[in-house]
Amino acid sequence: MSKLQITDRPELDSPTLIMGFSGWMDSGEVSTGSLEWLIEKLNAKHLASIDPEGFYIYNFPGALEWASMFRPHAKIKEGLVEEFSFPSNDFYYNAEQNIILFLGKEPNLMWEEYADYIFTLASTFGVSMIYFLGSVSSLVPHTREPRLMCLTSNAPIKEKFRGYGVKFTNYEGPASMASYLCTRCSELQLDMVSLIAATPAYVQGNNPKCIEAMLRRVVGMMNLKIDLNQTKHLASEFELKLNELVEQQPDLASNIVRLEEDYDNDIFDNEMGELKEWLEQQGIRLD
């Protein structure tokens, strides 16, 4: 029995699929935050879902702080369980903009089967292009325009994105679901691009500035008709509040100056010795 449950059959014309995952590659909640904003702003309708059964580990050994990240979510009030939810993986659509939106949790298990369901839906609705929106924690300053790194499924699509001011990724290490999907797209001769925002490692939690930068670039690339004034306002407020907090921490402020210098000189370096050590002393790790 298929775990892909299609709930609607809209008429779409070679739509674009935009994807986001929670978990890996969601620093600053750029991946999930961008998709949540698009789904809400476009009043997107539910299209399909992937049953989570078998794709996730719920009982992960280790410290409570770490193990709790794998558990289902429950809400209990006055001794009664009001809500109990497993990870969700849902597709939405907006026919006017001709796009499909996917928001899910990166699976722990059976990546091949999980990907098969995504590609089955893509084939069913004739998807012509896939975008993944993600982010990684990096040694970059919050005072500059967030950088976007890029991974593509083939050389022709890479040439198309060369003019968008992205930096093509050089990386070797643990892989994400997005990288796996990109590999599969190459085999299927389907165009896919992963856009990865570099978020400041010293800023924890939701990052409206990086979300705004991602949305602005994607809306421009796809020529979508969406008003971004709200996200721009939130990004400006966020940066102002962050600047006020930084002024109260001289050590952090001096380190940010160093990050600004490297940014302005176009230096990409996540091995910045003393600064990396300082961040780790504050409980902030890049790996």
pLDDT in tens, 229-272: 999 999 999 989 988 888 888 888 878 888 888 888 775 544 44
**HSE value, Cβ hemisphere, 13 Å, CA-based, for 224:** 24
Q: Which of 182, 183, 189 is nearest to 123 (CA)?
A: 189
How far apart are alpha carbons 64 and 284 in whole angstroms? 18
Q: From start to end of 236-278, where are the E strands?
A: none
Q: How far is CA 123 from CA 83, 118, 128, 208, 257, in A?
A: 34, 9, 9, 33, 49
Q: Is 48 contained in some domain?
A: yes
Q: How do residues 148-199 score in pLDDT, each as one tens digit?
A: 999 999 988 888 888 888 889 888 888 999 999 999 999 999 999 999 999 9
Q: Based on the structure, what is the number of domains in the chain?
A: 1
Q: How many percent of the chain have pLDDT more than 90?
A: 59
The partner residues of 199 in beta bridges, in order of sequence, read 137
Residue 25's φ and ψ, nearest 5 degrees, are 70, 30
- CATH assignment of the domain containing 143: 3.40.50.10900
Q: How far is CA 51 from CA 4, 13, 82, 114, in A?
A: 7, 26, 21, 10
The reported pLDDT for the residue numbered 259 is 85
The reported pLDDT for the residue numbered 281 is 56
Q: Is 226 contained in some domain?
A: yes
The reported pLDDT for the residue numbered 272 is 46
Highest mean pLDDT among 114-118, 169-173, 201-205: 114-118
Q: Which of 196, 134, 113, 135 is nearest to 161 (CA)?
A: 196
Q: Is 238 contained in some domain?
A: yes
The reported pLDDT for the residue numbered 71 is 84
Q: Is 83 contained in some domain?
A: yes
Residue 274 banded pLDDT, cuts 50, 70, 90:
low
The reported pLDDT for the residue numbered 282 is 52
Q: Is 203 contained in some domain?
A: yes
Task: State the Rg of the chain over Cα.
Answer: 20
Return the minimum-mean-pLDDT range out of 109-113, 153-157, 273-277: 273-277
The reported pLDDT for the residue numbered 270 is 46
How far apart are alpha carbons 184 and 224 in whole angstroms? 27
Q: Is 286 contained in some domain?
A: no
Q: Is 152 contained in some domain?
A: yes
Q: Is 287 contained in some domain?
A: no
CA 23, 25, 30, 31 dihedral sign is negative
Burial class (CB in 10 A: 0-12, 13-18, 19+), 7: exposed
Q: How many percent of the chain have pLDDT more than 70?
A: 92
Q: Yes or no: say if 262 and 143 are a contact pair by the CB < 8 Å rule.
A: no
Q: Is the pLDDT of residue 285 over 60?
A: no
How far apart are alpha carbons 23 and 12 in whole angstroms? 30
Domain extent for 65: 4-281
